[in-house]
Amino acid sequence: MNFFSTIQLVFRTLRARKGRSLLTILGIVIGVAGVIIIIALGAGAQSLVLGQVTKLGSNLISVQPGKSNEKGPPAAVFGITVTTLVNSDIDAIRDQGNVPHATAITGVVQGSGSVIWGNKSVDTNFWGTDGGFPGVMNITMEAGRFFDKAEADGGANVVVLGKSVGDQLFAGTGMDPVGQVIKIKGAKATEAGGVPLRIVGVVAERGSVFGNDQDDQVYVPLPIGQQQLLGIRYLQAINLKVDAAENVSSTIADINRILMQRHRIQREVDADFTIRNLADAISILTTITDALRIFLTAMAAIALLVGGIGILNIMLVTVAERTREIGLRKAVGATNSAVRNQFLLEASLLTSLGGALGIIFGVIISYLAAVGIRTLGYDWAFEISFVSIGLAVGVSILTGVLFGLYPAFKAAKFNPIDALRYE
């Protein structure tokens, strides 16, 4: 019996048993597509989380007021106001002799307020900060410039707009925001009508981090933010950028030493500040997302198992019928090897068809999921792991071929009449 007639025979058999063939294919499609989708979602979620963090900039260190447990959140999270970090701390850290590896340093306060231009008013968040901010936060300008150190320290009446604030106020007006004067109102009730500030620049689009729109913000000099908008005299954080990853820990030690000295603190446990490091955060998140991936991979394995059991089920249900069919084929002269070739080819065809459909559906559904999640505003990567495809297809083909061949191997042991009478 030649290859061509075997193929013909197999196609005839598959067509004659549409239901069984479709169910077998379905089992494989579910297994393969399930694995691809689950693994793609895991990879997408991981890249989303890590992408958000690295977007903040690498080699970032943040000093926050108040002592906190190493892993736990800083005191401010619990609504406790801690006033121990002040503007002069920035200057001490900024002194190159003290902290040699810091490339950019900025002190920040944050609050919400409204920005008014002409008859338009936009509710937004403001950052009170200094000239070091663009260097630390990787900010690039779309128009104009960021305010400099002198403007920031002197509390000049200038403001830099985030992209979307700029768009909300000026889009369609045909006016250049730079040079316009806006008014900003903070939480402090005393300044009636708001603080007038001249726009010196607009920041280029930054996207969102953990659902926070980084473009719905404005930046004002620190003294304006602290005194005129918030009415405070302390800092909410000092952020700095280190020149290289390997210098992060020595820089943390430097800052720790300087602040302990300045705040006249003897023992580490009494420190009234906390130093956080983004690399630590990334490694914690990587641990979490890796756990997620392992969990998802286990789920994928279950999908594969379910698909495989489906195939096994169908094969077992038909094994008696197929064994009798083999008996008949042997009775009219089929050799064991001819029967085996037929069943092998049949199983291979079914499983490769199922595998191909599984890949197509898996990729399409993963892609649609990625597109859907992106429209929700997340930076979701569409990632297909070739290892997952290979694994899924390999396992399903193996299952299909093994269980497809099972009746053939079983019947090969019988003489034709016993196979023919098999029940």
Extract the tokens encoding 230. Answer: 């918030």
Extract the tokens encoding 378. Answer: 């997340």
Element (H, E) at 13: helix 3-16
In angstroms, what is the minimal distance from the CB of 343 to another protein?
Answer: 14
For 357, half-sphere exposure in the C-beta direction (CA atoms, 13 angstrom radius) is 15
Query: What does residue 322 show for φ and ψ, rounded to 5 degrees?
Result: -70, -35
User: Does 16 contact another protein by CB under 8 A?
Assistant: yes
Q: Among the candidate windows 1-9, 247-255, 308-316, 358-366, which touches another protein by CB under 8 A?
A: 1-9
Q: Among the candidate windows 10-18, 173-181, 201-209, 310-318, which touches another protein by CB under 8 A?
A: 10-18
Nearer to another protein, 261 or 335 (CB): 335
Instruction: Look at residue 152 and give its three-state secondary structure.
Output: helix
What's the N-to-C CA distance of the chain in angstroms? 28
Site for another protein in 318-357 (CB under 8 A): 325, 328-336, 338
In angstroms, what is the minimal distance from the CB of 345 to another protein?
Answer: 13
Q: What is the distance between the alpha carbons of residues 32 and 388, in angstroms, rounded to a whole number? A: 9
Nearer to another protein, 185 or 329 (CB): 329
How many residues bind another protein (CB under 8 A)? The answer is 22
Q: Among the candidate windows 11-19, 123-131, 284-292, 349-357, which touches another protein by CB under 8 A?
A: 11-19
Pattern 29-48, binding to another protein, x per CB under 8 A?
Answer: --------------------
Site for another protein in 128-187 (CB under 8 A): none
Which residues on neighbouring strands pair with residue 181, listed in sequence order?
198
Nearer to another protein, 174 or 333 (CB): 333
Element (H, E) at 107: strand 102-117
Extract the tokens encoding 345. Answer: 């080819």
| Exposed / middle / buried, residue 210 (Cβ in 10 Å: 0-12, 13-18, 19+) | exposed
Nearer to another protein, 18 or 264 (CB): 18
Residues in touch with another protein (CB under 8 A)? 1, 5, 9, 12, 16-17, 325, 328-336, 338, 415-418, 420
